[in-house]
Amino acid sequence: MVDGMKLRSSLCCLALASLLAILAVSCSTVSSGSRVSGLGMMNDVSQDPSLELGEKLDILGYERIEMTFPTVYNDGSQWKDRLVRMLEDTQDYFICTVFLGSECDLNQDVFDTMKAKAQAGVDVYVVIDSSSALDMTKSRYHMRTLYDLRDYGVHLFEYNRMSANRIPWVFNLFYREHRKFFVSDGVHVAVGGMNMNYISMSSIEDGGDRDAMYVFDSPSCAKKLTDDFVEFWNRYSWEDISSLGLESGVLETDAVADNAVEDGSNEEALISGWIANQTNGGEIAPMYGAVMAQAKEEILMLPFLPTLDSDMYAAVEACTSNGVKFEMILRNDDRASLLNASKYATKDLLDAGVEVWMEDPSAYTNGSLLHEKLVIVDERYVICGSSNFNYRSLHISSEITLVIDSPELAMQLKEHYLEIQDYSNQVSYEQASKWHTLLRKLCFIINYFGG
């Protein structure tokens, strides 16, 4: 009798997963308008061995940027303090987009500063995803709505609201605003994986996420993000922005010096990068494909939730078959569905030639989650931003991704990666095979589209 109940439960889960698959595939058309829209990782340009990485990314249409050497914040409380200073220094405009945003005692100073700036005449615009109200992290115990920001003159837009009258357009509800970026006064930029909620802005020792925010100065990046933000806002919000931002497009020496003093960087020269600012899927996959195809020796990755499609597996195998050492570290998660999805994926990753490591659950018993998204290629190229290395981030969600060409930054982040590896365990093929079960496959399918 018990076995029969388990079977019926499994069949119901399989039916649900199949329905999600049909719905998600049906809504996978992108609207980005980029020349890379619809291409995967294994497109001809990304895989062309005769082209250098810069040539590939230029041909694919990604915008080049120049930037000061970024300061990387891995602790949410330190990033929160830096964000407050960034807001305090803003004179003209401040824009930000996050997946999850909510107010609480911990981050009250962030939103109080936003309100004060708006009342002082600064244009402050905030985009959050409607999933904020459904936050399933520990933040749900510390949530207050952000709606009161509007009472102080802050422009707040909640993307893709979930409501009963939108049921006929259920396919569109798969689109989510997953980007995390902040721009101040046409120069100062922060990009990464941290939200504006309790779990992202709490310290690691108090159970906050282990994540990353990259803070730097770059008028070229700021202009790209600002222009895209205005277009996005005007497309989806009833409130139009007629103009926003400064006219300057030159990063002066003083701006470099100011950034060095503020963030403790000793770098004076600008470094190069490329940016992909993806709306509803379609633009990031070729960027990942181009950077990974450039690898000659090693790829180190923090993917968060590696639910890959066949194109992504093909790109991974193209690297490993050429002798590239490919490593991933998977996070331990107290949410069973996400953890089981990752465990199910390990066998397929091992079959593709990846060395898979998983965090030891005893390392962070306070619930601190490894939420970072990071790729390091040949101790030179860095991929960072909001995108997980999975199907949903590359093909459905709105994401922001940077490629940075900097051996010094790559080495700094490699040391960070190796510190994480020190408290992780390598997954054996025998263990991965034990995790390759039907019930975990159901979790994998559900998170393939929804994770």
DSSP string, 355-415: EEEEE-TTS-TT---B---EEEETTTEEEEES--SSHHHHHTSBEEEEEEE-HHHHHHHHH
Does residue 247 or residue 136 have the better pLDDT? 136
Q: What angle do CA 205, 208, 214 make, to 5 degrees?
A: 105
Looking at residue 15, what is its pLDDT?
42
pLDDT band at 333 (very low <50, low <70, confident <90, very high): confident
**CA angle 48-50-52, nearest 5°?**
90
Q: How many CB atoms lie within 10 A of CB 7?
A: 10
Identify the pLDDT of residue 4.
44
Answer whether residue 2 shows pLDDT above 50: no
Residue 8 pLDDT more than 50?
Answer: no
Nearest CA to 134 out of 126, 143, 122 is that of 143
Region 199-222 average pLDDT: 96
Share of the chain above pLDDT 90, in %: 75
pLDDT of residue 381: 98
pLDDT tens digits, 159-196: 987 766 666 666 677 789 999 999 999 999 999 999 99
CA–CA separation, 214 vs 259, rounded Å? Answer: 12
CA distance 432 to 344: 7
Q: What is the SS3 assignment for 181?
A: strand
Q: Is the pLDDT confidence value at 20 over 80?
A: no
pLDDT category at 29 given cuts 50, 70, 90 is very low
SS3 190: strand
Contact status, residue 193 vs residue 211, Cβ threshold 8 Å: yes
Q: What is the mean pLDDT of the chain?
A: 88
> How many other C-beta atoms lie within 10 A of the C-beta of residue 231?
13
Q: What is the pLDDT of residues 273-302, one digit of tens each?
A: 999 999 998 899 999 999 999 999 999 999
Contact partners, residue 231, CB within 8 Å, separation at least 6: none
- pLDDT at site 165: 66
8 Å CB contact between 352 and 325:
no
Q: In this predicted model, what pLDDT tens digit does every residue of 341-357 receive, in sequence order?
A: 999 999 999 999 999 99
User: Residue 18 pLDDT more than 50?
Assistant: no
- In order of start, what are the domains of the chain with their CATH numbers? 14-66+274-451 (3.30.870.10), 69-269 (3.30.870.10)
pLDDT of 118 > 90? The answer is yes
